[in-house]
Structure 1
Amino acid sequence: MKTAIALALAGALLTVDVVAADRDWDGKKLYRYTNEHGVQVLDDRVPPRYVAGGYEILTPTGRVLKVVEPALTGRQLAEKQRREARAAADLQLLKRYNSVADIESARNRKLAMVQQDMAILRSNIASLERQIENEEAVAARTQRNGETISQELLARIDNLREEAKVVSERLLLREKEAVTINQEFDQASSRYQELAGN
């Protein structure tokens, strides 16, 4: 018991001494770093070759004012950036949605717009195919009658085929977009459940 009291008093006196010494502190700083031999060095500056290894800034009484962490390696920096990006994405996810039902509702709205565009594109393709069939029927009749098919008719058929190809490519892009939307919302839903569970 006496030993514990003595230790507590010694600690209090040491604290008073450090606080008193810091009160008289003139602003001088010391730097503690580890050299290439693994030995901690206390100096009035950090040599440039040791800066990347990190160091501490102290008062002459030994109170740590600031800790400068070691510089990160390329892999560590990439990992840190990945973690920060993930944390930012998680925060955004939690701000945007209040539940998994909100995520599903947003998915349905986004998919509805894409599916509406896809329906319009399919309708356009069907219309273009009918026009191509009609123009080709005219060309076939003309040829059966022994007449020459006009260049204008051939150009119209080519233009319609080209237009149908462009619309088909747009439809393919929208179909891929629908798949991507589903994947993104699946990931968002899964991640939201992980975060909400924590």
Structure 2
Amino acid sequence: MDDTKEIVVNTATVLVLAGVLMASGAGAAEPAWDGKKLYRYTNEHGVQVLDDLVPPRYVAGGYEVLTPSGRVLQVVEPELSGKQLEEKRRREAREAADLKLLKRYNSVADIESARKRKLAIVEQDMAILRSNIASLQRQIESEESVAARTQRNGGTVSADLLERIADLRTEVSVVQERLTLREEEALSINDEFDQAASRYQEIAGNQP
């Protein structure tokens, strides 16, 4: 049974090759196509096979659809493996990011201007937070001074005063956390724009 199929495959191959040679001759026109299709794929031995169908086990390896005269109607690419698919997605993501970068900026100078604008907002917020912390610290010092004076005079510091001092210290901690986050954001912005400027130079340098 296998020997018979091999003979059929070889015969079909000869017919297609003959059709290609005839069509490539000077002034030769391709014979009228009757809609019949042939399929060319590679088997497990690395041999190209021509047949009227693609066995399911070879579909993943890709194949070509041809007319009997040898004209390629369609090329079905091989299915990608997990690693190949992951690499393709990374490449497509990088290409999309590059295109977005080129659309957003016209030069490295544009990138630096955008960096300054974005940092200015964060730095303004950080300045306000630092001012708030300084103000709270002054209030704490003032309240602690009152408490110390009371103790020096032999009095007892009121629970309300101690609570106010504790609340002020808690507020300082909260504002300090916000300041730390904004400082980290400033570092992230600088890193983001450093990468954008570097990548833009790479892309611009590779463009004709």
- With normalisation by structure 1, the TM-score equals 0.86
Identity of aligned pairs, percent? 76
Q: Secondary structure at the match of 2:24?
A: helix
Within the candidate set 94, 98, 101, 1:90 is matched to 98
Within the candidate set 4, 24, 45, 1:11 is matched to 24
1:48 and 2:84 matched: no
Within the candidate set 78, 81, 93, 1:70 is matched to 78
Alpha-carbon separation, structure 1, partners of 2:28 and 2:179:
75
Correspondence for 2:39: 31
Alpha-carbon separation, structure 1, partners of 2:75 and 2:204:
35
Correspondence for 1:57: 65
Within the candidate set 116, 119, 122, 1:114 is matched to 122
Alpha-carbon separation, structure 1, partners of 2:58 and 2:127:
65
1:105 and 2:113 matched: yes
Q: Secondary structure at the match of 2:25?
A: helix
Alignment RMSD (CA, Å): 2.0
Deviations 1:88-146 (A, max 9, x none): 11111111111111111111101111110010000001011111111112222222233
Alpha-carbon separation, structure 2, partners of 1:131 and 1:83:
56
Matching residue's letter, 1:170: R
Alignment of 1:152-171 (within 5 A): 152-171=160-179
Is there any run of 5+ residues in structure 1 with no aligned partner, and where? 1-8
Alpha-carbon separation, structure 2, partners of 1:125 and 1:10:
85
1:148 and 2:156 matched: yes
- CA separation of 1:94 and 1:162: change in aligned 2, threshold 3 A: same
- CA separation of 1:61 and 1:11: change in aligned 2, threshold 3 A: closer
Deviations 1:43-79 (A, max 9, x none): 2222221111111111122211111111111111111
Deviations 1:149-189 (A, max 9, x none): 22222221111111111111111111111111111111111
- With normalisation by structure 2, the TM-score equals 0.83
Q: Secondary structure at the match of 2:199?
A: helix
- CA separation of 1:91 and 1:40: change in aligned 2, threshold 3 A: same
